[in-house]
Structure 1
Amino acid sequence: MIQVGSTLPEVDFSMIKDGELVNPKTGDLFNDKRVVMFAVPGAFTPTCSQAHLPGYVALADKLKAKGIDSIICLSVNDAFVMDAWGKANNADEIIMLADGNGYFAKQIGLDMSTSNFGGTRSVRYSMLVEDGVVKKLNIEDPGRFEVSDAQSMLDSL
């Protein structure tokens, strides 16, 4: 499992940018940047939609005022779902990133099986990444939402 001090693996993601499907690599998103990334089990799911994403939307300006270059929301969903979810939540300041096949989640050891609910998904977590290296990592226990929220990340910066 990934830990503080680890370098993120180089993988291809997908996202919608300016109406087009693009496939940025890890380096494109994290190299030479200070990034807050949070991952959710699924777009449009209750805790993710009612608390996790809205918290980062509400605190995006405060996070960026602390020297954060970008904020990424990651989920094992496709880029079109992530784009629609971002639009539904006015997440204009958040990069809505898709790990469609769960490859990144598996590479960092933060994947989980939800069986018939949705198959392979990501564990709920947040991390601070500087130039591709994990500096802070907040992993939630299953069914919890206590340490990966936006306010906890802001307080730790």
Structure 2
Amino acid sequence: MATTIKTRNGFVIVITLIIAILMMLMPLPDYARFFRPEWVVMTLIYWAMALPHRVSIGVAWCTGFIMDVTMGGILGVMAFSYALAIYLIARFHLQLRQYPLWQQALTILSVVFLVEFIDVAVARATLRWESWMPVLTSTLLWPLMYAVLRKIRRTFQVT
């Protein structure tokens, strides 16, 4: 006998992803643009850890494809890197959920590093130290991002 999971309020996931995409598109001054955290990747990671039956590789690929189109990059690069990142999170989501936030932040560091590495290796011709700043800022902001998204998930009872 198969058990079914009752899902509710999926629109909240979509809204948080749209907000994350808008935060990635928001213009920043030249000195701050390298420090922009990977808002979309962190949002996808949170939902993949919290609700892996709702946000998985397909959602990550579609979101990455939207980011490819909106950011004007090479088509498929972000789609692939997001899907790979969420595959890794989905594969180990039960273990990751048990980690304290500082250990989760280290996981974020490695996953965002992977996303940035794919972007640098495929799309960018030059490698500069600024290319790695989103890895650091995403890692440092993970506890706050986790707390905000968890509060949203509980407030709207997203299942």
TM-score by length of 1: 0.33
More helix by share: 2
State the structure with more CA Rg: 2
State the TM-score, normalizing by the size of structure 2. Answer: 0.33
* Structure (1/2) with the larger strand percentage: 1
